[in-house]
Structure formats: C-alpha cells, structure tokens
Amino acid sequence: MIDFNVWNKSPSNPILLASAAWEGPQIQDGCTIKINGLYYRFYCAGIGLDQWGIGYATATAAQFPTTWTKYPGNPVILPTSINRQPAAPRVILMPDGSYRMYFHSWAGGATPDVGRLATCSAAEFPNTWHYQDLEILNNGITGAWDSKYVQTQNFIPPWDAPDGLWHMHYGGYDSQINSIGTGTWRGGHATSIDGITWTRDPANPILNLGTDSWESIHVLPLGWCKINGLFYITYQGFYNGIWQLGYITSTDLWTYTRHSPSVPCVPVTPGGWDSYSVEGVDIYQESGLNQLFLFYCGDSISWGGSYKTGLATLDLPVIAPITARIVLSTGPLRIRTGRTVLQIGLRDYEDNTSPIRMMTPLGKRLLI
C-alpha cells in the first residue's frame, strides 16, 4: 500500500490563475488528460451564476506539470438556461476514440445541482462539445442525505473497474441544519452499465462525517487513482472555515476503508495562498512516470472567491527489475533472484547476472 500522507506541494504554486475576462476572479477544479503527447487541463471558472463556463489549457511534455497555455477560444462549454453553472469537468477518452465530459451544473427550479454530460468526436476534440440535455444524476428524495444538491465528482470507467461497470462518486447535500447553520455534504456512490443511466448504491452514503475535527462538518469524495489493484479516492473535509484532504481505499469499489489521520494528508498552508482551501482535487497518473500528480483548488479566503490551481506530487516506490539464472537438472534445484533464494534439494548454483538462462540435463543452455 502506498503512503498517501507524503504529498509535496510544488514550489511553482499556484500553477494556474484566472486571467481572462470570462474567468472572473477564480479558476476551480477540473481534470488532466494526455492526448497525442500533449497534456490538456480542463477547468471551470466564472463570475456569477450565468457567467460560468469550462475551458482548458495545454502543456507539452517539457512544460508539464507546472506551465500551461490557455486556449484563446475559451470557454468551450457555455452556460445555458438549464445548465447555468457548469463545473468540475471530468474528460474520458472512450474506446471508439470519442470523448465524454461529465460535469455538474446548477439547473434552477426543483433540481438545482445535477450531473451532466457533453460529448465530442476525435476530430472535434478539444474545442467542440455537444451538450446532452440529460440529468445523469439528480437530487435525492425528500428527507434523504442528498435531497438538496448532488455534485458529480469522479468517474471510473468499466475498463478500470474490477466488475466491468461504470462507477461514480459524488457529493450529496441534505436540508437538515447542522452546527454551522447549513446542510451537510457527504459522499455517495452510483454505478452504470453505459455511463448514462445510473443507480445509487443502497449503502449510501459511503462517506460520512469523520471523528477528527478537520472532517467533522462536511465531506465530499474527489479524485482517484489505482495502484496495484487498489483504488485510492481522495475527499475534502471541512471544519472551522477550512477545507483539507483525506482519502479512502477500495479493492472492489463497493466496500471502502477510511484512512483519516489526525491531520489531513494534504493540509492547508498557514498564511499561504491556499491557507483556507485544499479542495476540488483530481489525480493524474501516467504509466512510466514514478509520480502521482494531484491538482487542487486553493484559496486564502474561507468558502472561496479567488480560487487558484495548485499542484502536489507523490513519489512512487521504484521496484528494481529481478534477474535470475536457473539451472534445470535431474537433481536438486536452487534459484537465486537478488537476495532471495529458493532452494529445492541441496544443489548449489548461484548467479545474479542477466539474461535468464536454463540448462538442460544434457548441458545445453537455453537463452530466454
């Protein structure tokens, strides 16, 4: 298991700030995807309810992960009368080469925060998205833990899931007044066969308030990664005006283990640009890179208003390749790989060199 409590914040932070007129004073959460050698960072931003959208920035391999160039034609997703505040984009490359963008938005009326979907073809990516008038997830029934708002947060496609289903983790907000005079955010789980029609987990909420003070008022599930068959899912916890990060793990995406330390795994920086918020997380993971990249929203104001994008990294353990030479004979066998020895019988044969060779009883060497 990876130690998820050793993230290092980048000295280049914040790495992405609001600068265009449509972005207003803040840039919020999104996702990172790599296509044809170029990195795309999708994000949401805006001034107010009907002046909110989704844009993106790009980085070359030499620039990643700290230097980004915004697309001058942003935003690529605009608000509509029933999609008034598109936020938290999650972009997935589909097996047929097309793309899906999941996000949540303020719909107004009786279903204020709902899950949404936009699509584009390979030829249209990343600038032309077709908004689907679908509510893939709406608020729960009256009195439920997610009765007032839902915010879709992460999507795990079937090719990454152990059961071949789509999995979603989302935030749900109730109408019960808590100790600070608001409703309460908790974490939910839903599944789907096609990624469009979703079924809530009967065990919801799968993420409840924690016993440590930093996560005792609100919790919302966020970005995820998968390492050696284990899913790591981050979440943000709230207390005393401050959002910070914890994580849960799962092998099957149905049962979860909480790893809440007495302090968050990624805390705020007292007196810094992110002194009140480390939230809105997505994790970028790439084969061949021995690091995880955690992008987050940070702010120096309680409950936000001037969000910026920050970066933290986690170094993964490097496993050295194992080499061995094996001798097969009609007698006993001893195999040595590095410092580990497996001995069958009493025959001694030790060699740590590569490549692996096999010796037959007739003395002929077979190179593997």
The CA distance from 165 to 158, in Å, is: 5
> In the structure encoding, which two tokens stand for residue 74, read together?
């942003």
> In the structure encoding, which two tokens stand for residue 318, read together?
């490097």
The CA distance from 321 to 337, in Å, is: 10
β-strands 357-359, 326-327 pairing: parallel
8 Å CB contact between 151 and 207? no
8 Å CB contact between 285 and 317? no
pLDDT tens, residue by residue, 298-309: 999 887 789 999
- Residue 16, Cα to own-chain centre: how many angstroms? 18
The whole-number pLDDT of residue 82 equals: 72
pLDDT tens, residue by residue, 313-363: 999 987 655 554 545 444 554 545 554 444 444 333 344 444 433 333 433
Closest CA to 299 of 316, 275, 320: 275
Q: Which domains does the chain have, with CATH numbers?
A: 8-315 (2.115.10.20), 326-367 (no CATH)
- Average pLDDT per 10 consecutive residues for the chain, totaling 368 residues: 93 97 94 97 86 94 98 93 86 97 77 82 96 84 92 96 98 88 94 97 97 94 96 96 95 94 89 94 93 96 88 87 51 50 40 39 37
Closest CA to 215 of 237, 186, 241: 237
The whole-number pLDDT of residue 350 equals: 40
Residue with tokens 């990643």: 64
Strand partners, 249: 232, 257
The whole-number pLDDT of residue 303 equals: 76
The whole-number pLDDT of residue 342 equals: 43
The whole-number pLDDT of residue 356 equals: 38
8 Å CB contact between 45 and 22? yes
Residue with tokens 């005006």: 241
The whole-number pLDDT of residue 328 equals: 46
Is it true that the peptide bond before 332 is cis, omega within 30 degrees of 0? no
pLDDT tens, residue by residue, 179-202: 888 889 999 999 999 999 999 999
